[in-house]
Amino acid sequence: MIASLDKMKAVFARRMAASTMVLLAIVMGTLTAGIGSVWLAALLSFGVLERYTQHMLSLAAGALLATAFMHLLPQAFESQVDAHKLFMALLVGLIFFFLLDKAELWHHGHEHHQHSHDTTDSELHGQSSPAGTWAVLAGDSVHCFGDGVLIASAFMADMRLGVIAALAVLAHEVPHHMGDLLVLRAGAANRRTALIKVSLAGAVTAMGGLLGYALVDLLRNYLPYFLVVASSSFIYVALADLIPQLQRRLSARQTVAQIAWLLAGIALVTSVSAFAHRL
């Protein structure tokens, strides 16, 4: 009897140790993927590529659109969720971010009317709206939360699979976070503020990982909706905020460069996502 109890205690202790190791691996993996991808994106955006600000806006627009249409939406529609429900979620998300934009612009315009009558529209031209930055951060947080649940699921299946999933998420998030940082910088945020905000959004990956560890079966059913809502924010920001900034009269050479950088953003996200998917 005593030997049997000792054996049960030993088995329980081993299971607890294994569970603790998995939980620690999930935390480390989600933090590395969520925040590490932001810092790597910042190293590129604020270092090597910073001098090409206008080109980076085109790259950001392409990256956001490719993330939505070539990565998130296909993954959502591969699920067993009814397509009509997912399209409804996409429509609701687009309308929500439009209303958020209107509310923020009204508030910004009201403050501007009260405090200053000297700033012209031309002085504000070329900057993203404040709501555009919030839409990016909201969508990024939802996307990162879903990534955290996916990483947790992989670690709970197999530790090696979890490591591969975390590295894959880190890889495909780098070009996307480059777009996020550029949108925030275009919204007049300084480099440090932009990095902090996007890093906090990236840290939501760990939250998704922890909740995924506790409620993996329940949250897995809602992952398609997370992906669609994140897609709606990226589509809205790209089409309502970034693309209009690129719609100006340019020389033929500048237009070709603009289109090339837009296509480069699409190609970058598509190729990295395809590589991560193969992993």
Residue 1 inside a domain? The answer is no
How far apart (Å, rounded) are the C-alpha atoms in residues 92 and 180?
A: 22
Residue 14 inside a domain? The answer is no
Residue 104 inside a domain? The answer is yes
**Would you call 80 exposed, middle or buried from its count of C-beta atoms within 10 A (0-12, 13-18, 19+)?**
exposed
Q: What is the pLDDT along the chain (279 residues), one digit of tens a residue?
A: 566 666 666 666 676 677 788 889 999 999 998 999 899 888 877 776 666 666 777 887 888 888 888 877 888 898 888 999 999 999 998 998 888 777 655 644 444 454 444 444 434 344 555 556 777 788 788 888 888 887 887 787 677 767 877 876 786 677 778 778 877 876 656 788 888 888 998 899 999 888 888 887 677 778 788 878 878 877 888 888 778 877 777 788 888 988 998 898 888 878 877 776 665
Residue 259 inside a domain? The answer is yes
Domain around 158: 21-278
Residue 179 inside a domain? The answer is yes
pTM for the complete prediction?
0.62
Residue 16 inside a domain? The answer is no
Residue 249 inside a domain? The answer is yes
Structural domains counted in the chain? 1
Residue 80 inside a domain? The answer is yes
CA angle, residues 139, 186, 57, in degrees to nearest 5: 80
